[in-house]
Amino acid sequence: MINDLQNIVNPLLEWFAENKSDFSWRKDRLPYHVWISEIMLQQTRIEAVKRYYTRFISELPDIRSLSEVSDEKLLKLWEGLGYYSRARNLKKSAQTIMQSYNGVFPNTYSEIIKLSGIGEYTAGAIASICFNEKVTAVDGNVLRVVARLCGSKENVLLPEVKKDTQEKLQKILPEQSGNFNEALMELGEKICVAKGTPLCQKCPLRDYCTAFKDNLTAEIPVRIKPLKRKKEEKTIFLLTDLQGNIAVEKRPQNGLLSGMYQFPNTENFHTTEQLQQILTERQISFTKITFQKNAKHIFTHIEWHMKSYVVTVKEQSKNFLWVSKAELSEKYPLPTAFRQFLV
């Protein structure tokens, strides 16, 4: 196990200078751009983020426009990325910046981390990349790279392991702290990958890597998840009128997927007779119920198992908002959990 990581600094920075990706948010290093990209990149692959980022910045080009955007438009722009509380926190933070910082993004880690939805990693990334503050930015990629370099078999999901990694890196942070942090993240994204076999022969740090020397890359990092997801059964109704309009309703302002739109649904699975009774109780006059498909959607703490039914109605119920598929696509934010039932 190597104890001194100082030797990785120069080869890592040299590799990054020659191999770094040309991302839109790297062109100017504006804190607004880095901030939006970092929040989007949480739990999402870079390739998937690119089009979301471009659309978001086009519609909301600065902090003021983000602070003033309607919740509905914001959620529509975020649709498909998941974790919708992140979008709401972006707007909340933008409002804070307008009110408390005169519209100027704060330029120190200690101030950045006070903003809603910004944790240690994001604050470190923005502070180092945009303002060259010598602070670490430790995400999953960085934890994996350092664990392999050090040959550590400690559980990287434990807070104390993350803290130890931060302390190790803080000791070796160069003046180019932003480049160093980005380099570690990109090395984990491109070379020291999480899935599949790491590309050790292309790695600029292989001569300093314990996992490579001891053939332990398949065993490291160690990730032990203590969490078991709660499983819930849901029945989804695609209520459709004769013109092809679909019934949607707005979810509560608090809780999971708050403020988004959904198709009417119930807890648990039901027999045909129970389905008919539920629709009748909700004063929905229908002519046909057709099973559509089974589906699953996984959240952080909950796993939804769903059965969907297409219900042809005689007339529109006033209890719902009736929209065309085009309107649903363009205007109303519909989470991926429900969007998968659109045909």
The rounded distance, in Å, linking the Cα atoms of 162 and 139 is: 9
Please, what's the b/e burial string for 246-268 (b: 16 or more CB within 10 A of its CB; e: otherwise)?
Answer: bbbeebeeeebbebbbebbbeee
The rounded distance, in Å, linking the Cα atoms of 225 and 68 is: 39
Q: What is the pLDDT of residue 237?
A: 97
Nearest 5°: phi and psi at 294?
A: -95, 145
Please, what's the b/e burial string for 169-194 (b: 16 or more CB within 10 A of its CB; e: otherwise)?
Answer: beeebeebbbbbbbbbbbbbbbbbee
Residue type, 259: G
Q: What is the pLDDT of residue 83?
A: 83
Q: Are 311 and 291 in contact (CB under 8 A)?
A: no
**H-helix segments, 151-248:** 159-172, 177-190, 210-213
Residue type, 257: L
Is 38 in the active site?
yes
Identify the residue whose tokens are 């490579």. Answer: 212
The rounded distance, in Å, linking the Cα atoms of 173 and 124 is: 12
- Which residues, given as ranges, of the chain have pLDDT below 70? 1-3, 226-227
Domain ranges of the chain: 6-213, 230-339
State which CATH number among 3.90.1300.10, 1.10.645.10, 1.10.340.30, 2.30.110.10 fits the domain covering 6-213: 1.10.340.30
Asked if 6-213 and 230-339 have one fold, the answer is no
Q: What is the pLDDT of residue 244?
A: 92
> Under CATH, which architecture does the 230-339 domain have?
Alpha-Beta Complex (3.90)
Q: What is the pLDDT of residue 199?
A: 96
Residue type, 318: K
Tokens of 138: 């430790």
User: For residue range 104-132, what is the model confidence (pLDDT) as tens digits?
Assistant: 999 999 999 999 999 999 999 999 999 99
Q: What is the pLDDT of residue 8?
A: 95
Q: What is the pLDDT of residue 2?
A: 47
Q: Which of 14, 38, 133, 232 is catalytic?
A: 38
DSSP 315: S
Q: What is the pLDDT of residue 227?
A: 63
